Amino acid sequence: MVPHPARAALMFAMTAAAIPGFSQLNFQPVGSPLTLAAIGCSEDQGAGDEARPQAYTAEFKTTTIQTLASGVIITRESTETYATDSQGRTMNSQTVAMRGGNGTANVWFNVEDPVQGTRISWDTSSKQARVIQLPPQDQRQGCWASESGTLRMNFGSKPRKSEPAAAESVNLAIVRPARWAPTREDLGTESVQGLEAHGYRWTMTIPTGQVGNDQPLVTVQESWTAPSLGIEVRHLSESPQSGKTRKELVSLDLSEPPIHTFQPPDGYEVTTTQLHPVACPEIGTRWR
């Protein structure tokens, strides 16, 4: 099975960045680099065959509760859906209520399709979809750009012939040791939507007076991962500044998602962007 993503570590670092001094935390992630939707592998492959992803559709609900100094409580809710099929396609959608409280919501979709070599995004508000045609897999090195130059991608340097091409991944920045190292607590196992999940809790306390605080600042992150699928099924966070957030798996379907899951709906305006190789900018400079 593919190890679970280092989402807990990344989210912990993002939350920590809001607290002065906490951004220096040297937090060691557990598991593999973060991916759009980490997937398990089926075990019914013959010898020598490539492992095929475990197909599934998972829906998550996120609730954030923030208490203001005046005592006013603000509650926000959103839903996310992750899907993958046995060909390696992945889809991530997020539903967020529109401002104004009229009950309407907008849904954003992002798809990675390794079969067609595309990345697709669309939303239900504009009813527009954008397809990015990626370079062939064996040509994904160096820099590529759209004809207009508004979209640029860097796939990294061309690997040496003696070395295999490195897989695309999210790199977590190396940071300096923290003055307030978090403690980790093993929470054991628990069932979430029929999946056995293992949980850990990280707690960090900034003592009184360290950042101008008149009482200790306590930040907590909790992560539950199901090894059978390699996905995080529950995530909780609590901090003095951002409040409480709970994201949890609320439904799971292990059948093959229909192909339309990974395609824009009929009637949407579709724009396709082709990429071509370009010279990479010199080290230390940015694309304009």
Q: What is the pLDDT of residue 44?
A: 42
**Amino acid letter at 250?**
V
Long-range contacts of 106-109 (CB under 8 A, 24+ apart): 109/264
The first and second tokens of residue 60, run together, are: 């998550």
The first and second tokens of residue 25, run together, are: 């935390």
Q: What is the pLDDT of residue 42?
A: 41
Which of 147, 100, 95, 106 lies closest to 128, judged by CA? 106
Which phi and psi (to 5°) does residue 131 adopt?
-110, 125
Residue 69's Cβ-count burial label (10 Å; 0-12, 13-18, 19+) is: exposed
Which of 115, 95, 138, 8 lies closest to 52, judged by CA? 115
**Amino acid letter at 109?**
F
Query: Can you give the C-alpha Rg of the chain in angstroms?
Result: 21
Please give the full DSSP string across 64-108, using - where no structure is assigned: EEEE-TTS-EEEEEEEEEEEE-TT--EEEEEEEEPTTSSS-EEEE
pLDDT tens digits in sequence order for the chain, 288 residues long = 333 434 444 444 434 444 333 333 333 333 332 233 333 444 444 444 456 778 999 999 999 999 988 989 999 989 999 999 999 999 999 997 665 555 678 899 999 999 999 999 999 999 999 999 999 999 999 999 999 989 999 988 644 444 444 444 444 444 444 567 889 999 999 999 999 999 999 999 988 888 888 889 999 999 999 998 889 999 999 998 889 999 999 999 999 999 999 999 999 999 999 999 999 887 666 655
Strands 269-278 and 128-133: parallel
Judge contact between 219 and 11, C-beta under 8 A: no
Give the SS3 label for residue 15: helix
Judge contact between 115 and 87, C-beta under 8 A: yes
CA distance 168 to 52: 18
**Amino acid letter at 286?**
R
Distances in whole angstroms, Cα of residue 243 to Cα of each of 62, 79, 221: 13, 18, 12
Distances in whole angstroms, Cα of residue 233 to Cα of each of 79, 184, 193, 195, 255: 13, 19, 9, 9, 18
